[in-house]
Amino acid sequence: MKVDYKITTWERFDIDDEHKDALLAFLKENPKASAMEILTWAFDIGDDPYVEKIDGSDEEMTPEENDGHSTIEVLASRWGEVLFHNGKNE
């Protein structure tokens, strides 16, 4: 069997300090920008950020934190059939 579980984690990328004012202006215009939108913006202005996972930042999620969806699933090894899940919405 396989046990899948969902986690949250923090990742980080650097943007050159010379772009500070432009980044803050972008975020002021786009206060709900996702991290991927910020990363795309950085590439668009010619920066080349490297994304890294922050060690020790993984945290297991609960179904409540995942809008009732599963955060643990037990799957049969052979066919991948879901034998158990802890979500309400599956």
Task: Identify the band that residue 27 occupies on the pLDDT scale cut at 50, 70 and 90.
Answer: very high
Averaged pLDDT, 7-30: 96
- At residue 80, the pLDDT reads 83
Amino acid at 86: N
How far is Cα 26 from Cα 38, in angstroms, rounded to an integer?
A: 8
- Pair type for strands 59-60 and 2-5: unpaired
pLDDT above 70 coverage of the chain, percent: 98
Averaged pLDDT, 28-57: 96
Tokens of 43: 């590439």
**Torsion region of 68: left, alpha or beta (phi above 0 gives left; psi -120 to 50 gives alpha):** left
